[in-house]
Amino acid sequence: MVRDSEGGTFSDPLRDARQAVRQGRFRDAERTLQDAPAEARATPEALLLSAMTAWRLGDFGRSRTAAEQARDGFRARGDADGEMRAENVAAAGAFALGDLPEAERGFTRALQLADALADDLMMARCANNLGNVAYYLNRSEAALSFYRLAVANFERVTFWTGLAEGWLNSAIVLHDAGDLPGSREAGRRAVEAAERSGDERILGQALAARSETDVALGDLELGGALAERALRLARSHDHPMGEADALRILASIARIGGDADRALAAAREALDITARVRDPWRQAEVHRELGRLYAAVGRVDDAAAEYLAAADGFRGLGAEGRALEMRDRAAALRE
């Protein structure tokens, strides 16, 4: 807060940016922050708002840097709550960039601060994020345990968006573990919570998670309808990660349906998005889907190259088990 030129009253130069972030208007938040006075932009709160905005817009490197600066600023002030929130965002940036050890350290530190402050909502968020790290490292049971903790805390504070995140992440892990009925039920709960939240970005992600399980269960028509809706929501809310997920699933559906041209177009569009926002996990997932597509149409060398590209991506993230699976697929094609 700063005193205005007339004296006696105060103005808040970050009010509009704060409100835009809360309402999910991240482009507006970015413009408002750029227009704020230099003194205000240098504050830990402004840096944290900038980090949150950059993350939502897919600029993970800028988000991580701003969040680390905010964290250090809050820590210097002795503001444990601000440090906790900034640490969580910084760890999210590290996670998106593939630095899993730093992400795990940051989320664990934020969880410790949340526990000390008795902040149930932040505890839920950190547990959810630690579940994501465990999933990337192929530790399914640990991931599901973290997600259960997250869901319990999100329920305690009645935070529907967080519940949707916890359930959709559970759906993804259960899908990978082969528990398709469990995944479908978790996906249903994710969609239900997302609809109650009113957050259409998370609704799109929940629909994508549900659609992928429906496809695996053989319901291509329902899976396709859900993935198309997820794609529309992602595009309407400027959500590149959600857009890439939906396109990858649509590529899979087209591949299974025998439409190789459509599958290739969707997968290449998804790959372009993941490269633009520098999302190494989703990039590896799209390379894996391209490998499946090329294998299906008999382009063995191209399929092997895509599987190896996926292996490189997973290995760079520390996901050695997934990398080994991709290398094995590439080798099997050449036997």
Q: Which of 95-109, 168-182, 302-316 has the lowest mean pLDDT?
A: 95-109
* pLDDT, average across residues 177-193: 96
Q: Is residue 316 part of a domain?
A: no
Does residue 201 form part of some domain? yes
Residue 132 domain-assigned (yes or no): yes
Quick one: tokens of 94? 């590290």
pLDDT by residue (tens digit) across 265-309?
A: 999 999 999 999 888 889 999 999 999 999 999 999 999 999 999
CA distance 231 to 129: 24
167: domain CATH number? 1.25.40.10
Average predicted confidence (pLDDT) for the chain: 92
Percent of the chain residues topping a pLDDT of 90: 73
Average pLDDT over residues 164-171: 96
With a cut of 80, say whether residue 2 has pLDDT above it: no
- pLDDT tens-place string over residues 8-20: 445 788 888 888 8
- Encode pLDDT of 188-201 as tens digits: 999 999 999 999 99
- Of 17-31, 71-85, 139-153, 304-318, the poorest mean pLDDT is in 17-31
Residue 8: what pLDDT?
46
Considering its fold, how many domains does the chain have in total?
A: 1
Residue 7 has pLDDT above 60, yes or no: no
Question: How confident is the model over 102-146, as pLDDT tens digits?
Answer: 999 999 999 999 999 999 999 999 999 999 999 988 899 999 999
Q: Residue 218: inside a domain, yes or no?
A: yes
Give yes or no for residue 3 having a pLDDT over 70: no
Q: Is residue 162 part of a domain?
A: yes
Contact 206, 180 (CB under 8 A): no
- What torsion, rounded to 10 degrees, do the Cα atoms 228, 234, 236, 237 define? 160
Task: Please tell me which residue, 61 or 58, carries the higher pLDDT value.
Answer: 61
Q: What is the pLDDT of residue 1?
A: 41
- Where b means 16+ CB within 10 Å and e means fewer, 35-71 reads ebeeeebebbbbbbbbbbbbbbbbbbebbbbbbbbbb
Closest CA to 51 of 36, 37, 40, 61: 61
The total number of residues shown for the chain amounts to: 335
Residue 335 is assigned to a structural domain of this protein: no
Query: pLDDT by residue (tens digit) across 199-210?
Result: 999 999 999 999
**Does residue 42 lie in a domain region?**
no
pLDDT for 21 equals 83
User: Can you name the residues that pair with 2 across neighbouring β-strands?
Assistant: 11
Residue 183: domain span = 119-238
Q: Would 134 be classed as within a structural domain?
A: yes
